């Protein structure tokens, strides 16, 4: 009994012939290059599906001088950061875009000296075709490393103290202003805030939106406590606010994790929500729906953030010059405020 002959893999020439386009056009579609008409792109993609064509990644990397991967770099040492629903949704968004290409996604943590050295080597050896950077703090050397490296780079948010040409951000100022204005519209006048780390642009932007809304309403901040974007940080900050300002009638927390912690601290202190103290968060993470009571919050399009960062990076890799992008936010009303 003889083995059946191995089925020959279809070639790129056969894909081009089936699609009725040139080999060059078929190659440009495979490499996600710009300036290919929609009709040709769809014809090539249809031919790929019909023939079962699978590109040879080694040959393709040699032909296109690409490494075949992009990296998402997060300024943090704790591997659990990628278990955070926020970063999980960013990764999910990036993955949906990369599924349409042959590029793989690498995840990197880089706050320690060793982590930064690994990222530096990644950039200088061009082991990836481009990088996306998030959670950078003021003065983080990763920002300068990425800007100085001869490699496409997209920033999630704007690093403090640095002008970067390619970034995708969320309207943090507008979202925080809307959250505070909503509390004011509910008759709250003693409104406190649990901030994020103020050495990050996202935290400062949300703090600025909160203060702008109060100023426009003729109010002043009724206590501000720093947090670290974790539920425990929210508990600690809320305990401190209650100790210093027991008459607080509303709290805006700079993210949902801290807002959930604030709910726990208020319940433990015998405060009703929203009766005694209203609480509003930011992000619209899954925790907002299962909190007790469910959390009023500001929705930001987290998966879209990952998608748009990835699309911008692919455009840079292809030689384009995409403009910075600001994504909208919206209020989601539930029972905590």
Residue range 262-280, pLDDT digits in tens = 999 999 999 999 999 999 9
pLDDT digits (tens, 9 = 90+) for 229-259: 999 999 999 999 999 999 999 999 999 999 9
CATH of domain 1-54: 1.10.260.40
Among 305, 312, 275, 311, residue whose Cα is nearest residue 293: 275
Q: Which of 15-29, 87-101, 260-274 has the lowest mean pLDDT?
A: 15-29
Structure tokens at 196: 């994020």
Helical residues (DSSP H) of the chain, grouped into ranges: 12-19, 23-30, 38-51, 57-64, 85-98, 113-124, 141-148, 172-185, 201-216, 231-244, 256-268, 286-290, 302-317
Q: pLDDT at residue 2 above 70?
A: no
- The residues facing 169 across adjacent strands are 326
The three-state secondary structure class of 224 is strand
pTM above 0.85, yes or no: no
Would the CATH topology of 69-170+303-327 be identical to that of 172-299? yes
Domains of the chain: which residue ranges?
1-54, 69-170+303-327, 172-299
Tell me which of 127 and 279 has the higher pLDDT.
Answer: 279
CB within 8 Å of 288: residues ≥ 6 apart: 256, 259, 260, 281, 294, 295, 297, 332, 334
Tell me which of 35 and 280 has the higher pLDDT.
Answer: 280
CB 178 within 8 A of CB 163: no
The confidence score (pLDDT) of residue 139 equals: 81
pLDDT confidence band for 4 (50 / 70 / 90): very low
Q: Which of 26-40, 135-149, 183-197, 302-316 has the lowest mean pLDDT?
A: 26-40
Does domain 69-170+303-327 match CATH 3.40.50.2300? yes
Which CATH fold would you assign to the domain 172-299? Rossmann fold (3.40.50)
């Amino acid at each position: 009994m003889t083995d059946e002959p191995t089925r020959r893999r279809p070639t790129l020439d056969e894909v081009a012939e089936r699609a009725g386009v040139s080999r060059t056009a078929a190659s440009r579609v495979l490499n996600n290059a710009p300036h290919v008409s929609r009709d040709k792109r769809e014809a090539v993609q249809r031919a790929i599906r019909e023939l079962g064509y699978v590109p040879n990644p080694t040959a393709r990397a040699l032909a296109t001088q690409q490494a075949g991967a992009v990296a998402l770099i997060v300024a943090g040492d704790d591997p659990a950061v990628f278990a955070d629903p926020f970063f999980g949704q960013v990764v999910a968004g990036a993955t949906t875009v990369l599924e349409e290409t042959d590029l793989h996604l690498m995840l990197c943590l880089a706050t320690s000296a060793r982590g930064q050295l690994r990222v530096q080597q990644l950039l200088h050896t061009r082991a990836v075709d481009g990088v996306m950077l998030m959670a950078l703090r003021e003065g983080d050397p990763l920002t300068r490393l990425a800007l100085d490296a001869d490699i496409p780079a997209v920033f999630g948010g704007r690093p403090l103290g640095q002008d970067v040409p390619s970034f995708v951000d969320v309207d943090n100022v507008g979202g925080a202003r809307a959250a505070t204005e909503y509390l004011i519209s509910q008759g709250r006048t003693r409104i406190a805030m649990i901030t994020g780390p103020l050495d990050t642009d996202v935290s400062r932007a949300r703090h600025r939106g909160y203060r702008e809304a109060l100023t426009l309403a003729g109010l002043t901040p009724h206590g501000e406590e720093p947090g670290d974007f974790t539920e425990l940080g929210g508990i600690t900050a809320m305990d401190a606010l209650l100790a210093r300002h027991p008459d607080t009638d509303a709290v805006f927390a700079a993210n949902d994790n801290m807002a959930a912690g604030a709910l726990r601290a208020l319940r433990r202190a015998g405060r009703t929500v929203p009766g005694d103290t209203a609480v509003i968060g930011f992000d619209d993470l899954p925790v907002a729906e299962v909190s007790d009571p469910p959390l009023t919050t500001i929705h930001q399009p987290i998966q879209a953030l990952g998608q748009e960062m990835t699309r911008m990076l692919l455009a840079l890799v292809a030689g384009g010059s995409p403009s910075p992008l600001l994504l909208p936010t919206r209020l989601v009303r539930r029972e905590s405020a």
